[in-house]
Amino acid sequence: MSTAPTPEMETLKSRLKSTWEAGDFSEIAKHIESAAEDFVGRLDIQAGMKVLDVACGSGNLAVVAARNGADVTGIDIADNLVESAKRRAAVLGLDITFEQGDAEALPYADNTFDVVMTMFGAMFAPRPELVAAELVRVCKPGGRVAMANWTPAGFPGQMFKLSSKYLPPPNMPPPVLWGVPETVAERFGDNLTNLRTTPRMAEFEYDFPPAQVVEHFRTYFGPTVMAFKAIAPEDHEAVRSDLESLWSEHNQRSDGTTFVEGEYLEVIGTKR
């Protein structure tokens, strides 16, 4: 399968790279570390396994796997997040290889890794058929491919839907389709056996109220940063207000802090 992008796709991919390099996603990732730990824990990663974290961000999954004694590599399209992950591993004293690269064209040989995993990352690549093919290709026969993908109906899916009300989404399949079991099964086809798709919840917890959470995302979450840059200034307050209402409606706390659960689909399959 050719991964060579058309000029239009090259432009879109460049735009997506800039989006994820905007802000500082590592500040967002800190608030979903518990979900990452639970996700990796269910993969039963053992010492000595070769593990790949695709679209690794600041290394939430990679760090957990490395602590289990695995030989871990992380790859991400955003240069600043790769550097952030490297610094994090160094501080923690963990030997992890982090490098810049594309989930649609992974720079690894066929049948290299025992576990290929991605959490809230590879789902945002614009050509899902290539992502599915690449995740499988670099996995060893009998190894596992694992994804955690936001669902359309879950809280993050509703955030993306709200943003599209003010800003047309890019010309690509909606990333949240990776959170639909039937779509996942179709994309992997016969390449994976024992495919399990399980709805799970990730917890977002902040020691400040929803209004401040919105500002936190405006500062650190690349898609939100870029959305506000693209939206007309006169619409900024309407978008901010809508986001605050969404966080407030889903907030399970009433003490000035914020606790919201976001549904994702856990995908685990075995390569034939």
For the chain, percent of residues with pLDDT exceeding 70: 99
What tens digit of pLDDT does each residue of 9-52 get?
Answer: 999 999 999 999 999 999 999 999 999 999 999 999 999 999 99
**β-pairing verdict for 139-150 and 113-119:** parallel
User: What span, in angstroms and rounded, lies between the C-alpha atoms of 68 and 13?
Assistant: 34
Whole-number pLDDT of residue 168: 87
Give, in order, the Cα–Cα distances in Å from 15 to each of 8, 77, 223: 11, 11, 11
Strand order in the sheet with 71-76: 97-100, 71-76, 50-54, 113-119, 139-150, 258-271, 192-206
Q: Tokens 């010492």: give the residue.
A: 47
Contact assessment for residue 104 and residue 48, using Cβ atoms and an 8 Å cutoff? no
SS3 category, 69: coil
| Model pLDDT for residues 74-101, shown as the tens digit of each residue | 999 999 999 999 999 999 999 999 999 9
Are 46 and 204 within 8 A, CB to CB? no
Q: Is the pLDDT of residue 1 over 70?
A: no
Average pLDDT, the chain: 96
7-151+170-201+263-271 falls under which CATH superfamily?
Answer: Vaccinia Virus protein VP39 (3.40.50.150)
Give the model's pLDDT for residue 5.
Answer: 87
CA gap 27, 48 in Å, rounded: 30
> Where do we find the tokens 């460049």?
14
Q: Which pLDDT does position 166 carry in this prediction?
A: 87
pLDDT tens column, 103-155: 999 999 999 999 999 999 999 999 999 999 999 999 999 999 999 999 999 99
For residues 158-162, give the mean pLDDT.
Answer: 94
